[in-house]
Amino acid sequence: MSVITRRRRHRGALASVLTAVSVLATACSGSAATSQDDASQSAHKPGQKVNLTFWSWVPGVDKAVAVWNAEHPDIQVKLEKIPAGSTGGYAKMRAALKAGKAPELAQVEYQEIPSFLLEEGLVDLGKYGVNKHRDQFVGWQWQQGVFGDGVYAVPQASGPMGMFYRADLYKKWGITPPKTWQEFEQAAKKVRAADPKAYISTFPPGNSAWFTALAWQAGAKWFDVKGDTWVVNIDTPQTRKVAAYWDRLRQQKLIKTEPDFANGWYKDLQKGGVVSWVSAQWGDAIISGNAPKTAGKWRAAPMPQWSAGRNDSANWGGSSTAVLKGAKHVPEAMQFAVWLNTDPKSVDLLIQGGYGWPAAKGAFRGSALDKPSAFFGGQKYNELFAESDKHIDKSWKWIPTIGATYQHLNDGFQAAASGKGTFVDAVRQAQKQTVEDLKSKGLKVATGQ
């Protein structure tokens, strides 16, 4: 069978078994064959030493790996730190897969799992009995790795949303943490009036993953599956509402448009140039790690709402531990992936590193997350993220070309920030481009309009 024929069969199988109640992709005949070959491998014999390589960017994972290695002398894991996925890690993984030199294990964010499946890059762990561990994980996070009858990743953490803010400056300027987006806009005006060098927030035009979470909270559902057809519905009233809102704040100079996770933005967090950040729970580690001298000045509040009295939330981020195609020791790799994300010692170390909201059931209560924080002025702030996690629309789905969609939005937002077009234009263009991206993969596509 030619590579082209096999790829076409793969795409056809991928599309035909998608269901709206599970997630967005499944294994192809080629992946199944690979998994069956892998399944024929036997676990290592007693006394035989197995060496695994793990690629990750998660803070604190090195300490967890060290604990594993101390407790499992026969199965040693070599950690190799790589750039975060969207900043080069995924390109490195794909190059390694293409060259047949991929590590056994890798960090893969939830939204990227379908794209790796489309490229036949992941091992079906269901063939190795991973389903017996299913009840150890939060249901919706477990489902992020379930496609058709296969399980292609072990969940690690998610990112329920809230808002971090400088309580000292809010108090000084007479600002109450906004409960609605209308109040957020009014607060933005007060910040600008109080200090012409300060802004309530930045809209990072190069980080459309963040914008996606805002659209998610507003009720948008960008992707769906109908039979064997992918449905793209980015250009909706909900998404346009969010885009127009932030564009208005931009045009009125109520917000910055500097990149997040960059030197200028970190300086603004340190100096009070940006006094709020609508972010995922893992943002606490970003702030404390990059603005340590602001300890005691920050607090957290629920995400502002589009309608008063609601408590809608969304998820930003979330990762899994996946076993990559070509792994020679799949059972051992799976054993490590499950341990990494469920063992109390490991989870505690990952929490200390700020890896996100745990996928392991019950990990929050009694952990470091479930305590008052000195950095946040003694606030037991993760209580609000625990509540936020309950109000995420967990029916959100991902497509196998989400990376390209993010780039389309980035391009459009950056152009608008430079005076060429609007944020709404960026949304409309991304809709069209995403449809073409999926078609170019040989997949059936429809629009939700």
- Measured N-to-C along each axis, helices 208-217 and 237-251 cross at an angle, to the nearest 10 degrees, of 120
Domains 3-158+318-389 and 161-314+396-447 share a fold: yes
- Answer for the pair 143, 24: CB distance below 8 angstroms, yes or no: no
Name residue, tokens 């497509």. 399
> How far lies 7's CA from each of 14, 19, 119, in Å?
10, 21, 9
Predicted confidence at residue 6, as pLDDT, reads: 44
Distance (Å, whole) CA 413 – CA 9 = 37
SS3 25: coil
Distance (Å, whole) CA 27 – CA 14 = 6
What is the DSSP secondary-structure string of 159-215? EEEEEEEEHHHHHHTT-PPPSBHHHHHHHHHHHHHH-TT-BS-B--TT-HHHHHHHH
* Maximal CA-CA distance, the chain: 71
- Answer for the pair 263, 348: CB distance below 8 angstroms, yes or no: no
Distance (Å, whole) CA 86 – CA 66 = 26
**How is the chain split into domains, by residue range?**
3-158+318-389, 161-314+396-447
Residue 338, CB half-sphere, CA atoms under 13 Å: how many? 19
Predicted confidence at residue 368, as pLDDT, reads: 87
Reported CATH class of domain 3-158+318-389 = alpha beta
The sign of the torsion formed by the CA atoms of 242, 246, 249, 250 equals negative
Predicted confidence at residue 43, as pLDDT, reads: 58
- Answer for the pair 161, 315: CB distance below 8 angstroms, yes or no: yes
- Ordered per-residue pLDDT tens for the chain, 449 residues: 443 444 444 444 444 334 333 334 333 333 333 333 444 344 566 678 999 999 999 988 999 999 999 999 999 999 999 999 888 899 999 999 999 999 999 999 999 999 999 999 999 999 999 999 999 999 999 999 999 899 999 999 999 999 999 999 999 999 999 999 999 999 999 999 999 999 999 999 999 999 999 999 999 999 998 888 999 999 999 999 999 999 999 999 999 999 999 999 999 999 999 999 999 999 999 999 999 999 999 999 999 999 999 999 999 999 999 999 999 999 999 999 999 999 999 999 999 888 999 999 999 988 889 999 999 999 999 999 999 999 999 999 999 999 999 999 999 999 999 999 999 999 999 999 999 999 999 999 999 75
- Answer for the pair 377, 296: CB distance below 8 angstroms, yes or no: yes
161-314+396-447 to CATH, choices 3.40.50.300, 3.40.190.10, 3.30.390.50, 3.40.640.10: 3.40.190.10
- Answer for the pair 360, 156: CB distance below 8 angstroms, yes or no: no
